[in-house]
């Protein structure tokens, strides 16, 4: 076999006159009838033009060349020359071509389902996934794989420089409730016993801190059997870290450095010191715990003003538990926000439980305090104060939300994003990073009348909250709701790319969390006995974070399709279209595992 001397994106005018061997896939074949046959050969690095000269080449060679088809795998030996037909500025190798002296067809290719040349329209994603090995040949996909590699390599280098050890943790684990549904694997040796695939290595990395490993890193696969969501995969990858003898600031500093290194190394973007927002501030001002701050449209509380009106929508909301009235100023909205858009907004917020969106245009004229349309006459009594509070200028529109705090902020937070998109207010060239911290430790779910950990049950209360937490009566909703955790999220452009916390290293605190989450002592011991033991036997203060690698790479590559950044992804219902997984297995495999399948209609 001819062995490569160069890759397909390497030859330049410096190489003219040299004999070279290249190998790759036939990207295109052109016979212009001028006595020359041109073939572009592609490998992972790029394209090089090969040329066969009908006058000089042997008949054998020409016969071989004439039979070449797209995606045939070839190697060729030849001499580099300056391109006869003038340079091709679109190719990095566009100054030169290789005049072929010897050709080896390493593999003939059947007609491929599509051509991976990124030129024409892409086929449907289903076709791409079914033939992923062809799809991944596309230069755009190769770029993504390379970026992903760059990120993991940067992670390994950066964390190594900061004293982290890469340590693997098990894939076959004990099923412990961590929020999502587990993937289960039956044990052959112990009938009726099951392993779970890890939702994250959370407990293991904490145990590594108890083991004295000090700083841990793992680029690990996590498995969560969640319902289909466009931006999620059931199997995803985290850059997972944990550190001993640290407080929140220490973790944030190291992790911020990592983000800075990645953006610098991959995109050449300098990330400034990250802004910080408390969870409460994020919710108050943006209605979401991962605000996109590339544009304004902040939520402003006007409850005190609303209370002075007779507007039932406002006053009714203020009578609710934690009732609020909030407003968004849309600069110039009188022109840009059409009636059709604002009517749509009232419909839009209904999915978040809100009743609608009262709207007022500020024209500065008329006899309702300068406001027009919709809610204008109701807000006339507070017109001047509203103008001042919101900094309104003539031509602005105000969108209102009035409801219990959670409903109102959520609805307006989503609406803010929608208006931002509708009016093209988001500057896509910006990178806006921030930390969100001081999350509530628990949230109460009315549906099942119980508490849930907002992060996960191993997150510590903030140091100044420990005493209050230990003292809190779990039936005192306000007291529990007010406990702030030592958790933190890192957000870029409105998307959470990492989350972590300082962990509980005190057994009594951990036990109280389990009790609060509704676990009896036996249950807690049954599920987490090993962790509770570890906390008794010398657990250092520790904390960490996990970055979503897929999400990081999506940002760095500018795609919003998570499947684009995973070499072999699954569809939204967890199917691998290429290998056809999941699939039925032979009955004796099941018998061996002591598993019987219940047919659908027998259920």
Nearest 5°: phi and psi at 233? -125, 145
What is the nearest approach in angstroms of ligand ASP to the Cβ of residue 501?
Answer: 5
> 98 and 19 in contact (C-beta within 8 Å)?
no
Rounded to a whole number of angstroms, the minimum distance from the CB of residue 205 to ligand ASP is 7
8: buried, middle or exposed (CB in 10 Å: 19+, 13-18, 0-12)?
buried
Q: Which is nearer to ligand ASP, 408 or 546 (CB)?
A: 546
Q: Taking the complex as a whole, how short is the minimal distance between the CB of residue 202 and ligand ASP, in angstroms?
A: 4
**Shortest spacing between CB 254 and ligand ASP, in angstroms:** 13
Sign of CA dihedral 266, 271, 276, 279: negative
| Least distance to ligand ASP, CB of residue 567, Å | 22
Rounded least distance, CB 224 to ligand ASP, Å:
9
CB nearer ligand ASP, residue 27 or residue 501: 501
**DSSP reduced 3-state for 340:** helix
First-to-last C-alpha distance (Å) of the chain: 59
Give min distance, CB of 487 to ligand ASP, in A.
8
Give residue 434's Cα distance to chain centre.
15
Site residues (CB under 6 A) for ligand ASP? Answer: 200, 202, 456, 499-501, 544-546
- Check if the beta carbon of residue 401 is closer than 8 Å to that of residue 410: no
Least distance CB 483 / ligand ASP (angstroms): 17
Q: Report the residue number, 318 or 509, with the smaller CB distance to ligand ASP.
A: 509
Paired sense of beta strands 275-278 and 433-437, if any: parallel
Query: Is the preceding omega at residue 26 within 30 degrees of 0, hence cis?
Result: no
List the one residue out of 77, 86, 102 whose CA is nearest residue 4. 77
Q: Give Cα separations from 483 to 165, 366, 472, 547 (angstroms).
A: 33, 49, 9, 25
Residue 460 Cβ vs ligand ASP, minimum distance, rounded to whole Å:
11
How far is Cα 305 from Cα 369, in angstroms, rounded to an integer?
Answer: 14
Question: Toward ligand ASP, which CB reaches closer, 202 or 465?
Answer: 202
Which one, 420 or 499, has the nearer CB to ligand ASP?
499
Shortest Cβ 51–ligand ASP spacing (Å):
54
> Based on CB atoms, which residue is closest to ligand ASP, 231 or 347?
231
- Number of residues written out for the chain: 603
Question: Considering beta carbons, is residue 329 or 455 the nearer one to ligand ASP?
Answer: 455
Helix (H) or strand (E) holding 223: strand 215-223
CB 91 within 8 A of CB 38: no
- Residue whose entry in the numeric block shows the structure tokens 């008329």: 366
When the beta carbons of 70 and 501 are compared against ligand ASP, the nearer one is 501
Angstrom distance (rounded) from CA 172 to CA 117: 40
Minimal distance, residue 92 CB to ligand ASP, in Å = 41
- Closest separation between CB of residue 238 and ligand ASP, Å? 6
For residue 548, the minimal CB distance to ligand ASP (Å) is 9
Note the Cα 167 to chain centre separation in Å: 24
- Residue 333 CB, nearest approach to ligand ASP (Å): 38
* Residue closer to ligand ASP, measured from CB, 138 or 503: 503
Residue in the block written with tokens 């994003």: 417
Q: Which 3 state secondary structure label does DSSP give 424?
A: coil
For 436, the enclosing helix (H) or strand (E) is strand 433-437
Q: What is the DSSP secondary structure assignment for residue 391, as one 8-state letter?
A: T
Give dist(CA 96, CA 103) in Å, integer: 18
Q: What is the DSSP string of 126-140?
A: HHHHHTHHHHTTSHH
Output 23 or 497, the one with its CB closest to ligand ASP: 497
Q: Which is nearer to ligand ASP, 390 or 546 (CB)?
A: 546
Closer to ligand ASP at the Cβ: 202 or 309?
A: 202
Between residues 180 and 404, which has the closer beta carbon with respect to ligand ASP?
Answer: 180
Closer residue to ligand ASP (CB): 215 or 456:
456
Phi, psi at residue 277, to the nearest 5°? -135, 140
Residue 509: which residues within 8 A CB-CB, separation 6 or more?
460, 461, 466, 469, 470
Query: Are 205 and 169 a contacting pair, CB within 8 Å?
Result: yes
DSSP states of 470-511 as a string?
HH--TT-HHHHHTPBBSEEEEEETTEEEEEEEEBP--HHHHH
H/E stretch holding 386 = helix 383-390
């Amino acid at each position: 076999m001819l062995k490569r001397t160069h890759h397909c994106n390497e030859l330049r005018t410096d190489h003219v006159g040299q004999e070279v061997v290249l190998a790759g896939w036939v990207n295109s074949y052109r016979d212009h009838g001028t006595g020359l046959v041109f073939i572009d050969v592609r490998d992972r690095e790029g394209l090089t033009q090969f040329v066969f000269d009908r006058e000089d080449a042997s008949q054998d060679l020409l016969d071989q060349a004439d039979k070449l088809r797209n995606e045939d795998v070839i190697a060729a030996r030849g001499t580099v020359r300056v391109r006869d037909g003038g340079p091709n500025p679109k190719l990095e190798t566009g100054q030169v071509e290789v005049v072929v002296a010897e050709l080896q067809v390493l593999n003939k290719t059947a007609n491929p389902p599509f051509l991976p040349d990124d030129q024409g329209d892409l086929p449907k994603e289903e076709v791409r996934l079914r033939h992923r090995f062809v799809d991944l040949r596309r230069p755009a996909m190769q770029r993504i794989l390379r970026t992903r590699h760059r990120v993991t390599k940067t992670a390994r280098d950066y964390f190594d420089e900061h004293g982290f050890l890469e340590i693997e943790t098990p894939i076959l684990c004990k099923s412990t409730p961590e929020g999502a549904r587990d993937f289960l694997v039956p044990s052959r040796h112990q009938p009726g016993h099951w392993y779970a695939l890890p939702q994250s290595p959370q407990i293991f990395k904490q145990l590594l801190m108890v083991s004295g490993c000090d700083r841990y890193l793992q680029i690990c696969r996590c498995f969560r059997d969640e319902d289909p969501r466009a931006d999620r995969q059931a199997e995803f990858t985290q850059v997972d870290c944990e550190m001993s003898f640290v407080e929140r600031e220490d973790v944030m500093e190291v992790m911020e450095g990592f983000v800075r290194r990645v953006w610098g190394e991959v995109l050449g973007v300098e990330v400034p010191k990250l802004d910080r927002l408390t969870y409460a501030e994020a919710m108050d001002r943006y209605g979401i715990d991962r605000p996109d701050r590339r544009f304004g449209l902040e939520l402003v509380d006007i409850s005190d003003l609303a209370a002075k009106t007779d507007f039932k929508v406002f006053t009714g909301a203020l009578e609710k538990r934690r009732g609020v009235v909030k407003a968004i100023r849309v600069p110039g909205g009188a022109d840009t926000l059409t009636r059709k858009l604002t009517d749509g907004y009232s419909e839009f917020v209904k999915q978040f439980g809100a009743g609608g969106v009262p709207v007022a245009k500020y024209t500065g004229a008329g006899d309702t305090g300068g406001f027009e349309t919709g809610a204008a006459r109701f807000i006339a009594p507070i017109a001047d104060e509203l103008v001042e509070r919101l900094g309104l200028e003539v031509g602005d529109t105000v969108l209102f939300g009035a409801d219990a705090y959670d409903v109102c902020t959520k609805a307006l937070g989503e609406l803010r994003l929608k208006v931002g998109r509708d009016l093209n207010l988001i500057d896509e060239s910006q990178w806006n990073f921030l930390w969100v911290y001081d999350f509530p430790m628990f949230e109460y779910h009315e549906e099942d009348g119980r508490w849930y950990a907002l992060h996960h049950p191993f997150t510590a209360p903030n140091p100044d909250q420990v005493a209050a937490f230990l003292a809190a009566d779990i039936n005192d909703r306000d007291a529990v709701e007010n406990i702030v955790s030592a958790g933190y999220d890192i957000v870029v452009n409105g998307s959470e790319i990492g989350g972590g916390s300082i962990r509980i290293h005190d057994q009594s605190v951990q036990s109280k969390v389990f009790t609060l989450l509704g676990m009896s002592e036996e249950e807690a011991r049954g599920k987490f006995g090993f962790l509770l033991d570890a906390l008794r036997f010398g657990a250092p203060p520790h904390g960490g974070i996990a970055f979503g690698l897929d999400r990081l790479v999506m940002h760095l590559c500018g795609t919003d399709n998570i499947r684009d950044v995973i070499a072999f992804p699954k569809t939204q219902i967890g199917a691998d279209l290429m290998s056809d997984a999941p699939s039925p297995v032979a009955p004796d495999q099941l018998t061996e595992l002591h598993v019987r399948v219940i047919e659908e209609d027998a259920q």
